[in-house]
Structure 1
């Protein structure tokens, strides 16, 4: 074909060429919109909508019906791609004859991949929130018009998949809100945007619903309480010398908790005139005890503490036996954790040795150890380090016995009756023979 013939061909088919270019631009719009609206941050859109951004509100409403949105954009994208390819085939067959089909396939593949897929999607993924807000006013009426067609296509797809045993549910998310939030925070931590302390605090908040009171309570063996049958002056001295402001009061046995004494209430009574300490009735000063089941999760217990404006509760099992006590501070510590720098281990009952090993009391909670040392020991089956060793060994270990699991070497240093009271922990690969 000569140059003049080619120019005549272009003059005759210029409308088709412009149409192909416009269709490629539409294809780029659909591809970029799909990527941006799928990757847009729902939390940021919600915040912008709260601040009065109407376009962010459009994005939120589009994302709420993600299946209809995606279906509409895919239908539009495929429609313009097929139409552009058909026009190009018609043009190039007229220009090159039968070779036009092969040339069309090659040319349109290159154009569609570069200008209608990679370029717009790369642009959209680079700034999804801004891109989504820009295209939302155009996409919204398209979804309103093509939404029923998209719904019909989705219904057909679900029916076909059901024939193969694949069940799809648009109402059931794959991840819960907590799991999505936890995954997002963990990803930001790995990327360096969230420091470990913030990761631990946010993780502590999310874990409250999964932990029970029994996981954080002070066990009855470590619980300090006052015997109401002791002489008043002895009780007063124990209360005032105690590092705690609230102490349980028992009578007859430690399972019979009759009250909780607050040191401020005691001091207030002692400050009154004509009060003789040796004749003081401690039980009358004590507040009524509050008993909670050991299976209560920490989220409910925290809400109960705030609702009742109390700071201490007595933990009992299903038989009503006292298991320990839990305080508001115990739950808050699950959120804020312990304060320690990168070199010091600031947990009670934990000591770092010169050889790099860690000596811990058996009663140290696994969660506290994981937080301080950035370990990942499991705490589903046991709450304390001693409990973890007993669970994994399926026995009550003897002193100097050693076990290796989860990449650590646990050596029992001290045992009192059936309780492991002290252990040494070191990396498994650094373990040396025990002499």
Structure 2
């Protein structure tokens, strides 16, 4: 379809990086803040656990996710949307990244060579999804693409005897170093290099005493499934090839990143590759079809909006195949375990800690997944539910529940 045939969409945020575009965003954020202040001081906090700062960030997130794209666009118009423009629009409105402050920790970005890490995927069980991964691996072997990764160290570790330069090295600090490989959330569309996630990594490192590595995997809708999974697979391969032992690696992820952790485990198990020591999952997006009852019952409690799959801008749609109309065939494809891990089999999985907010839309999907793992796996699968907390609440790292969640991660890693 040629460019003139695309439909024009009503967009709330800046569509060009000009003074007028920036004013649009200032007005958008200011309106969210003032509305929150009014509700907070007139009607009181929604929950005694929520500070004013918590309310402000939660409502900005909700307004951004529910209003920045026209979610009333009919499914029939999907093929008339210029998703390359939507990808630029989303990127343009992401918050700019900056380095951590010294009181939080230190971080550095490094590159890994995708071509040197690629190998054939032996995933006959997963049909077309496995074929897509092999196409990506072949393309990377020819193109020589690089993947950027973050290494983050908590503030207390920065003050140890190692120099900060040594701490931020991509190789193990010693032969038996334990480390966390974390895949960020953000509905597969945002989260790359975000300051919010850097603070999550720093808090995780501070609590556990381990360094945290995180790949900046490719984002939708510019890059659709399974590119994110392929990049995460290569990041895990990199950890092994530079000298980290699999039994010293903890795989972690929040939201979409949690789904990527589980999909990667299914790939590793199918290919008979070594599995990591254990898992830390926060609000993992285990069902891309969003079938759990809490998608209805928890609406209004979470900052996630209650979107439907009929919406072309639903994160599932943009992640899986942006620009393709939803039909019954796509719904069946979304039940592939590499897309929706809840439909997979989890015998032989390593120990896992799963944390979720009791008020989040994904609550029932996550509970069903953990129940399934507990029945299938011999290793423990621990589920922790945090009262009055929304989806991926550790992003609000200053909240008491988030601080407790990081401490529980430390306790779990000490036990397993």
Q: TM-score, normalised by structure 2?
A: 0.23
Q: Highest CA radius of gyration, 1 or 2? A: 1
Q: TM-score, normalised by structure 1?
A: 0.22
> By percentage of residues, which structure has more helix?
1
With a CA cutoff of 8 Å and minimum separation of 6, indicate the structure with the bigger relative contact order: 2
